[in-house]
Amino acid sequence: MARHMGEQKKEAVGTVGRKMTEIIMECRNLSKIYGKVIAVKDVSLKIGEGEIKLIFGPSGSGKSTLLRCLAMLITPTKGDVFLRGKCLTKPGVDLNKARARIGFVFQHIWLFHHLTALGNVELALRRVLKLPKKEARERAMQALREVKMEKWAHHYPAQLSGGQQQRVGIARALARNPDIILLDEPTSALDPELTGEVIDTLRDLAKKGATMLIVSHEMPFAREVADEMIFFDEGAIVETEPPEIFFTNPRSERAKIFMARLIKRTRRE
């Protein structure tokens, strides 16, 4: 079903021409250097409206650093980040405003411990978008419904399972209607049984046309929703391919080795 929709989406893009899709997020020659360690090396990428791109790659390769640079949670050492054409790396840009337009989902979830699920989702609506109380509550409940967590609205994070917490994390990221959602290994800290419910949530979002950049090693999910696969290693993009090519016949040697290992591991699970 999602696959079918994905094809429709591509067709629609095809008829108007690729250039017509607005570029939501872009980075050019982005690098992040910590002392002598180059975490991200000269990365350029673009994500158009409604596109879903997945980043694959070994751990420690700089994927999280790249995502955090894109969200301007850490300042890139070199290069530029653009959100809807607006440069975020220039001095004097209101980064709080920019971050309000970017949803971020963390590997270790990081909900606000002192707030209920609803409170977590509501906080940005009240204190960043400054919506009136009633409207903020309605929108937060709507976001919780989208991740099927409305029944748990009044529970604190510590009272929820990891999968439920991550769904609240997704609701928190999406309640503001951000331009793009960046997800940093949203399922890798969860038990395999809990991964499914989070993946289902992301699949729903994909169907609704959300623009997403996801670091994830969930292969079936990637095959299903990704418009493009980005293979990342040692701080740089090694290759980008449509998923059907990437999964059957990656070009680079490193991607081949990585995929072989990942398939072996997945089978074992």
Where do contacts with other proteins occur on this chain (CB under 8 A)?
71, 73, 96-97, 99-102, 104, 106, 108, 110-114, 123-124, 127-128, 156-159, 172-173, 176
| Min separation Cβ 220 and other proteins, Å | 28
Please identify, using beta-carbon distances, which residue of 113 and 268 lies nearer to other proteins.
113
CB of 81 to other proteins, least distance (A): 15
CA-based nearest residue to 201, from 188, 216, 180, 186: 186
Between 133-146 and 192-207, two packed helices, what is the crossing angle to 10 degrees?
110
Alpha-carbon distance of 116 to 62, in angstroms, equals 32
Q: Which is nearer to other proteins, 70 or 141 (CB)?
A: 70
Cα-to-chain-centroid distance, residue 152: 24
Looking at the Cβ atoms of 9 and 155, the one nearer to other proteins is: 155
> Smaller CB distance to other proteins: residue 183 or 259?
183
- To other proteins, the closest distance from the beta carbon of 116 in angstroms equals 9
Spatial distance between the Cα atoms of 229 and 251, rounded to a whole number of angstroms: 12
Q: Could you give the CA distance from residue 156 to residue 121 in angstroms, rounded to a whole number?
A: 12
Q: Report the nearest approach of other proteins to the CB of residue 99 (Å).
A: 5
Q: Residue 140: how many CB atoms within 10 A of its CB?
A: 26
How far apart are alpha carbons 36 and 224 in whole angstroms?
39
**Which is nearest to 108 in space by CA: 23, 45, 169?**
169
Would you say 104 or 221 has its CB closer to other proteins? Answer: 104
* Shortest separation between residue 101's beta carbon and other proteins, angstroms: 8
Nearest to 23 by CA among 175, 213, 221: 213
Cβ proximity to other proteins, 16 vs 158, nearer residue:
158
Q: Which is nearer to other proteins, 123 or 236 (CB)?
A: 123
Residue 48 contacts residue 24 (beta carbons within 8 Å): yes
In angstroms, give the least distance from the CB of 232 to other proteins: 21
Q: How far apart are CA 253 and CA 263, in angstroms?
A: 15
Q: How far is the CB of 121 from other proteins (least distance, A)?
A: 9
DSSP character at residue 22: P
Handedness of CA 170, 3, 85, 16 (dihedral sign): negative
